[in-house]
Amino acid sequence: MKILVTGGTGYIGSHTVVELIQSGYEVIIADSLINSDIDVLNGIEEINGIRPHFEKIDLADRTTTLDFFSRHKEIKAVIHFAALKAVGESVEKPLLYYRNNLDSLMNVLEGMNENNINNIVFSSSCTVYGQPNILPVTEETPIRKAESPYGNTKQIAEEIIADYCKTVALNCISLRYFNPIGAHESGIIGERPQGIPNNLIPYVTQTALGKRECLNVFGKDYNTHDGTAIRDYIHVSDLAIAHVLALKYLFNSKQYGNIEYFNLGTGTGYSVLDIINTFEKVNDLKLNYQFKDRRKGDIEKIWADPAKIINKLGWKATRSLDDMMRTAWKFETKV
């Protein structure tokens, strides 16, 4: 069974491709390589012994995307990761995010419909909740105004899919990620963004390596136990496994015209200083870090109630924060 993974050479996409191949699926990757590297395919092949089919494609280009789908009519489902994802950058370049993230989604949905592909797993985000009033967050938590254009693209994308499901034979699972970190246990693939990292962990590992002089901690006056922002961190391999389970759930659905939402987190919140302290402890290192003013678009604290995904998909996070810090450093230092 062939599965299209858009953004499949990216951080989360590549780990999901590994799990899909190990589960017996044939994978086709479509990626623009804007924020990933073609060498990731070598890592996937090294882990699994199978090299997925790859095409470099800008999914925000409608003509190119529809041509791609017309050449791959054997695809049975799509996992849609392809999107720009840096909160800070989205505040600075909102039109770039709206054009890229929403045009690519609509082109993919159109290509799916023209070729009778009925199942999609959408890569969403806990940013759709904004700063919730009550924690932990459930799938019934009200959607508040997004704190960033990035978060807004996820809100709008879910609305687009929900409206589209009403008009065509389409089923969707929208997985609302909390904060994926860590790397594959082998250390072969992990998070290595191009340029200066926007996410915490690659900045931590690059600072520890000496590639970055100092780690900036944005905000020390939040209403949290140590003044730094709190997130629900989840190991990327646990997150990847959830996509395989989501596909199986969709394939077992008997009725089309539905979008279902699942929070994908551990249910535990850790602060930025918790992350730093755990990284130092697990890897026997000291990090050079300094406090900076709060960053626009960031929320104060959020963590998930994962009960729904545990009960309906049979998924549960199995890797600890120590595992996340250990594998992230293993990947960063692997030659």
Q: For the chain, what's the residue count?
A: 335
Q: CA 194, CA 322: separation in Å to the nearest integer?
A: 26
The residue with tokens 């406090």 is 291
Instruction: For residue 80, list its beta bridge partners.
Output: 6, 122
Q: Which residues fall within 8 angstroms of residue 236, CB to CB, at 6 or more apart?
A: 11, 12, 15, 180, 181, 182, 183, 184, 190, 191
Q: Strand runs (DSSP E) across the chain, as ranges? A: 2-6, 26-31, 53-56, 75-80, 119-125, 171-177, 179-181, 215-218, 230-231, 233-235, 258-264, 270-271, 289-292
H/E element, 237: helix 236-251
Terminal CA-CA length for the chain: 34
Catalytic residue ranges: 150
Instruction: Identify the DSSP state of 49.
Output: S
Tokens read off for 95: 């039109």
